[in-house]
Amino acid sequence: MRHARALDEERLVEVEWEDGVQSLYPFTWLRDNCQCSLCTLKSAQARKLLMSDLDIHTGIDVVEVTNDNKVSIVWPDQHTSMFEAEWLKKRSFSQEARQTMQEELFFNERYYWDSKLHIPTANYQDVLNDDKAALAWLVALKRVGMVYLKGAPAQLGQVARLAERIGYLRLTFYGHTWQVQDKYMANNVAYTPGRLSLHTDYPALHFAPGVQFLHCINQAEKGGESEVVDGFHTAEQLHREDPEAFHTLTSLLVDFTDTGTDYCDFMLQSKKSIIDVNAQGQVVRINYNNATRDSVLDLPLHQVQPFYRALKAYVNIMNRRENVVTYKMEPGDIMTFDNWRLLHGRRSYVSRPDRLRHLEGAYLDWDEVMSRLRILRKSVDEADATR
Ligand code: OGA
Ligand code: NM2
Ligand code: ZN
Ligand code: ZN
């Protein structure tokens, strides 16, 4: 750092770096983020300072750069704060620095795809045993929305092992893990040999599972092929081609329902728009399973037909040949995917009692997956640095 000085009028500290670039930090933010042991619990990396003890109009008595390259601030009550250069630089309020930091924290970069996608593929054992392979797996899962794992044993328990590699799985009414098979008196259309049109799992839950694993233990001889589509890419195609339909699907709330018994008895109701966008208008989640879309439709009469028109327009785009990736899972394959982004389906299959089609599935949430992703990047970076 070349210097640090207080701009008292604006209540900003100006820091000039070695390259001549300057950064500005509000007095209030600096006081709020004092790193001393009175203000911060080091062992939890958490703020001890209470909002009720923060003076949001504080001035500064003295600010200077110390010999060991820290910004030292003495506040009017003589409390002292020390800020390391690197720590400050990362937290710069400039547009570029904020963007870099957000990318580092949230891995927001997206790769949109269509039928020409070469599905990112990794080896199951590598992902379990090697941090670099696990990191590449989760980076692609976030960026592309799906990663195909090969080489797992064709036995129960592999999706649970994979979930433990990350943290823990998401329990739902279908159990910790669940068996996709042709079942007598099926409590879900997935548990029949019928076709499953493109869907996201579990829109009947307001907080639908973020990530899904499907492990093929046994495949049908005839049928049972998988289909996947990039829900974000196709939603943006809808936005361009039919903005009115896009607006309808991002604004109208649709009822979803799911009733039955499995892990325990359940009677779910939810209200979701088919396409969720964030405050910037970016598509962030798809909520659509035609099987659990409720016959109760809480819309005024005049919105019913426009809703169907809009949904049909989106489904027609999804089903375009140029958007769909088709493959057939083999025993030992595990499909890992973003359930907030991908729509997935299955062709009908011929059920044979002597060769039962069987997939084992599990859900996780994005918070746990992103947590493991950050930890893996840190440990892989550190290992690389010491080599
Ligand atoms: C499901 C599902 C795919 C398959 O169970 O929700 O999408 O290939 N299954 O059976
Ligand atoms: N299963 C596969 O939304 C859904 O009902 C998806 C969930 C039964 C756990 C299917
Ligand atoms: Zn302090
Ligand atoms: Zn599904």
Residue-by-residue DSSP string for 291-355: TTB-S---S-HHHHHHHHHHHHHHHHHHT-TTT-EEE---TT-EEEEETTTEEEEE--B---TTS
The CA-atom distances, in angstroms, between 336 and each of 109, 120, 144, 145, 364 are: 19, 10, 11, 8, 10
Q: Identify the nearest ligand to the CA of 339 by its number.
A: 4
Nearest to 160 by CA among 367, 360, 332, 373: 360
Q: End-to-end alpha-carbon separation of the chain, Å?
A: 29
Predicted confidence at residue 299, as pLDDT, reads 98
Nearest to 278 by CA among 110, 116, 136, 139: 110
Lookup result for tokens 């200077």: 64
| Dihedral in degrees, nearest 10, Cα atoms 309, 315, 321, 324 | 170
In the chain, where are the structural domains located? 3-94, 121-376
Buried b (16+ CB within 10 A) or exposed e, 226-262: bbbbbbbbbbbbbbeebeebbebbbebebbbebeeee
Predicted confidence at residue 219, as pLDDT, reads 98
Residue ID of nearest Cα to ligand 2 atom 10: 201
For ligand 3, a single-atom ion, the residues with CB < 5 A are 34, 36, 38-39
CA 65 and chain centroid, separation: 41
Gap from CA of 224 to ligand 1 centroid (Å): 9
Gap from CA of 380 to ligand 2 centroid (Å): 35
Atom of ligand 2 nearest to the CA of 200: 3
Gap from CA of 187 to ligand 2 centroid (Å): 9
For ligand 4, a single-atom ion, the residues with CB < 5 A are 201
Residue ID of nearest Cα to ligand 2 atom 3: 202
Predicted confidence at residue 349, as pLDDT, reads 98
Gap from CA of 151 to ligand 4 centroid (Å): 22
Question: What CATH number was assigned to the domain covering residues 121-376?
Answer: 3.60.130.10
Q: How far apart are CA 222 and CA 357, in angstroms?
A: 10
Predicted confidence at residue 353, as pLDDT, reads 85
pLDDT in tens, the chain (387 residues): 999 999 999 999 999 999 999 999 999 999 999 999 999 999 999 999 999 999 999 999 999 999 999 999 999 999 999 999 999 999 999 999 999 999 999 999 999 999 999 999 999 999 999 999 999 999 999 999 999 999 999 999 999 999 999 999 999 999 999 999 999 999 999 999 999 999 999 999 999 999 999 999 999 999 999 999 999 999 999 999 999 999 999 999 999 999 999 999 999 999 999 999 999 999 999 999 999 999 999 999 999 999 999 999 999 999 999 999 999 999 999 999 999 999 999 999 999 888 899 999 999 999 999 999 999 999 999 999 998
Question: Which CATH number is 3-94's, of 3.40.50.150, 3.30.2020.30, 1.10.132.10, 3.40.190.10?
Answer: 3.30.2020.30
Single pTM value for the model: 0.97
174 lines ligand 2 (CB under 6 A): yes
State the sign of the Cα–Cα–Cα–Cα dihedral 143, 145, 148, 152.
Answer: positive
Gap from CA of 334 to ligand 3 centroid (Å): 50
